[in-house]
Amino acid sequence: MADLSAELVQANLERVRAEIAGAGRDPEEVEILAAVKYVPVEQLGVLAEAGIALVGENRAQELGRKADAYPGRFTWDFIGVLQSRKVRDLLPNVRYIHSVASDSALAQLGRHGSPDTEVLIEVNLAGEEGKSGVAPSELAAFLDRCPVRAVGLMTMPPFTDDPERSRPYFRELRRLAERHGLPHLSMGTSQDYLVAVQEGATIVRLGTVLYAESV
């Protein structure tokens, strides 16, 4: 990744907030999570200067390294595929794990979590082979087995260049969350975040749209 500037990131952040407002949502009700998988540790300070407070990392080891390098500067979420053996290492550093989706992860949460531990459950709405996530039909039972507080749902729709094709999946995730009384919806990336916002996202996971020069 090319060197970031605080001015560029701040301008992009303000533009995204304006777009959220233009989509009919209160920007204060939609958290912008900066995905930092491809942001080198030495450039994270630029994000703080730009007003980024919430960041998400896909790799457990990198999350720990980056969090240690900037103590107290960011709120960290884990947004990658969750390996159950990494749960213990993640919990001290994160607010939420967005991708809980297996009974082995639940077992580790039961072993290492606390009454204050909060997670999001990943749902595989399209039933895609090879993609992690709980099937919608199994969500109720999975929530019953969860030993810590599940506070929301996360999904990754099938890849598409057309954001509108993601809308049915975002809408269904909202319905599932409402059905189970879960307040948070982590959905939408740089490609489709405005559609996700229109369908009720409370957290959008953004990378390129925050870091790239406007076209």
pLDDT digits (tens, 9 = 90+) for 164-180: 999 999 999 999 999 99
**Ramachandran category for residue 132: left, alpha or beta (phi over 0 → left; psi -120 to 50 → alpha):** beta
- The pLDDT assigned to 1 comes to 65
Tokens 């794990």 belong to residue = 97
- The pLDDT assigned to 166 comes to 98
**How far is Cα 40 from Cα 29, in angstroms, rounded to an integer?**
29
- The pLDDT assigned to 150 comes to 98
User: Mind listing the pLDDT tens digit for each residue in 76-98?
Assistant: 999 999 999 999 999 999 999 99
Q: Find all residues with CB under 8 Å of 28, minimum gap 6, and list them.
A: none
Region 43-54 average pLDDT: 97
* DSSP 8-state assignment for residue 34: E
Comparing 9-13, 128-132, 182-186, the range with the smallest average pLDDT is 128-132
For the chain, the structural domain boundaries read: 6-209
| CB-based contact 81:99 (threshold 8 Å) | yes
- The pLDDT assigned to 3 comes to 85
Of 200, 113, 208, the residue nearest 155 (C-alpha): 200
- Domain at 6-209, CATH class: alpha beta
- The pLDDT assigned to 155 comes to 98
- The pLDDT assigned to 74 comes to 98
Higher pLDDT, 42 or 3: 42
